[in-house]
């Protein structure tokens, strides 16, 4: 029985570490931000008077980057940055797992449309073969 407890404990540790590795991001947010902002001729990490930073400021947009599951956080930040810079709010949702992240994209669509937020999706493949993917 004692050996079974040790084996069970070991299996739990292995499974939890495996599960944590699945949750790890393929790339950091900044990697996507840098690529997209360069391609769009924007200013990365534009600092506002209140010391907050717009992820990418273009001539027309104040853009917030976030992984798809953080969709709700990105909405508030994009709206705030748009007001503070007098630019249109924009969001780039980073999608590393399309099958899982589609639900977040679908949740964003009505919010973006009704709040006049331009929104794009960026995939891992876009780091090597950049393309623009408007949300709607």
The ranges assigned to domains in the chain are 26-127
Q: What average pLDDT does range 102-114 have in this prediction?
A: 94
Contact in structure between 54 and 46 (CB atoms under 8 Å): yes
CA distance 112 to 105: 10
Residue 2 has pLDDT above 50, yes or no: yes
Looking at the predicted structure, is the pLDDT value of residue 17 above 60? Answer: no
* Residue-level pLDDT at 8: 41
Check pLDDT > 80 for residue 71.
yes
Mean pLDDT computed over 98-126: 95
pLDDT at 96 over 80: yes
Partners of 114 in the β-ladder: none
What pLDDT band is residue 23 in, cutting at 50, 70 and 90? low
What is the pTM for the complete model shown? 0.81
How far is residue 48 CA from its own chain's centroid?
21
């Amino acid at each position: 029985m004692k050996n079974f407890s040790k084996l069970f404990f070991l299996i739990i540790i292995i499974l939890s570490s495996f599960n944590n590795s699945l949750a790890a991001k393929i790339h950091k947010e900044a990697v996507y931000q840098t690529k997209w902002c360069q391609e769009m001729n924007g200013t990365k990490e534009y600092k506002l008077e209140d010391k907050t930073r717009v992820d990418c400021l273009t001539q027309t947009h104040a853009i917030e980057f976030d992984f798809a599951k953080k969709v709700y956080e990105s909405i508030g930040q994009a709206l705030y940055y748009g007001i503070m810079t007098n630019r249109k709010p924009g969001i780039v949702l980073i999608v590393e797992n399309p099958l899982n992240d589609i639900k977040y994209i679908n949740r964003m669509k009505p919010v973006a449309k009704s709040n006049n937020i331009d929104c794009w999706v960026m995939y891992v493949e876009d780091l090597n073969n950049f393309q623009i993917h408007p949300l709607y």
